[in-house]
Copies of this chain bind each other. A is one copy, B any other.
Amino acid sequence: MQSKTKSALETLRERLTNGHYALGARLPSERSLCAALGISRSGLRKVLSRLEAEDLVWRHVGKGTFAGPRPALGSESFRIVTSKTNPLEIMEARLMLEPHIAAAAAQRASFQEIERLALCAKRNHEANDLETNEKWDVLFHETLVIATRNSLLIALYGGISKMRLSDEWCLRKQQWITPENWESFKKQHGSVVQAVRERDEAGAEKAMHEHLISVRQHIQSTYL
């Protein structure tokens, strides 16, 4: 008879609206819930599908069923993003963040961090293979973000660094790196270090902006 599933639907809808299941809370598994409600799993699943359509619950294999609307983002893992993104997206994000990071670093960097910055720049342009060069470059920019003393920024930038060590990025870099821009990057890094050393916030921001614009331009040229 239909009354059973109907009453189960009412029961669950009640619990979801009156707070018996709090927003975002995990409901019992389907297998235990159907037993508790005295209906079959097939019947329960119809009820849950209905509730999901009403945005009262959301479900995910392996995780469970949860009260409330499906979270818009945050469900995606970083590994998934790796496959979706590309060097131009990375550069857009870096252009948003890093000039400000450089400014903050110029304000707060310790003497030790400034020396580390200079060391990374030195090792970077001394490197004779591309992979080593890129690793020291990543380390340079990481040191900069650490100098901001903002733990959230540091965590966020970790996501960008991971992307830059991915295979696709390195392959792309091989295409646009040349002895000429290798040399110009060296100068740009030097400008950033100098501005940070002189506590010149605006100068550091400008130097970093110019550096990233330069990098993006070389990347874009390989896309045409």
Residues of A within 8 A of B (CB): 19, 22-24, 68-69, 71-74, 76, 78, 81, 84-85, 89-90, 92-93, 95-97, 100-101, 104, 129, 131-132, 135-136, 139, 142-143, 145-146, 150-163
Contacts and interface: CB of A to CB of B under 8 A. Distances in A.
B151 A84 contact: yes
B97 A162 contact: no
Contacts of A160: 152, 156
B73 A158 contact: yes
A89 B150 contact: yes
- Residue among A69, A73, A131, A154 having the largest count of chain B Cβ atoms under 10 Å: A73
Contacts of A161: 73-74
Contacts of A132: 22-23
Contact of A152 (B85, B145, B155): B85
A89 to B, nearest CB: 5
B152 A159 contact: yes
A163 B157 contact: no
A97 B98 CA distance: 10
Given A143-B72, A157-B73, A151 B97 contact: no
A38 B169 CA distance: 41
Nearest to A90: B152
- Residue among A19, A72, A76, A89 having the largest count of chain B Cβ atoms under 10 Å: A72
A2 to B, nearest CB: 32
